[in-house]
Amino acid sequence: MTRVIYPGSFDPVTKGHLDLIERASKLFDEVNVCILTNSTKKCPLFSVEERVIMLKEAVKNLPNVKVETYKGLLIDYARKCGSKIIVRGLREMTDFEIELQMAQVNKEVSGDIETLFLAADPKFSNVSSSVVREFASYGIAVDKFVPENVLEKLKEKMNMM
């Protein structure tokens, strides 16, 4: 039985994330999607609780996918859930530079936790949570980038702001 971790900030989850989660769920027995803190990203739009609700709704059709949160290091979460494989998506070269460093550090510190990269589908290579937040804040349609349930939450959030 191979359990992998698909970690991220998911603020909010996008169609690009969901494509990778679905593909990982076909390759591995179990996928733990874990919301962690990215210390370089300040002032999230959605609370962790809101992100969990959106993610759970978006993956409810994938029985081998679980959504969790963890306050701390990704490698500690990996130990806790008994997985040695982290899955990350690569959209472009700038992703690769950041992701390679993160994978190497996580391997070096843990000793045995590997990162596997999945190439993003080109139709999602320009999709990111930050683009979604930025466009939505200016009232630009983001229905191409996020699932229906996230679109609704974004509209609610923007009306509150």
Q: Residue 67 Cβ, how far from ligand PNS at the closest point, in Å?
A: 14
Residue 6 β-bridge partners: 33
CA distance 94 to 119: 13
Q: Which one, 108 or 156, has the nearer CB to ligand PNS? A: 108
Respond yes or no: is residue 91 known to be catalytic: yes
Contacting residues toward ligand PNS, per CB under 6 A: 7-9, 36-38, 41, 73-74, 102, 105
Q: Residue 31 Cβ, how far from ligand PNS at the closest point, in Å?
A: 14
Respond yes or no: is residue 47 known to be catalytic: no
Respond yes or no: is residue 110 known to be catalytic: no
Q: Which one, 136 or 160, has the nearer CB to ligand PNS? A: 136
Q: How do strand 65-69 and strand 85-90 relate by DSSP bridges?
A: unpaired
CA distance 51 to 56: 8
Q: Which one, 48 or 73, has the nearer CB to ligand PNS? A: 73
**CB-neighbour burial class of residue 67 (10 A; exposed 0-12, middle 13-18, buried 19+):** buried
Respond yes or no: is residue 41 known to be catalytic: yes
- Specify the DSSP element, H or E, that contains 106: helix 93-110
Active site residues: 17, 41, 91, 129
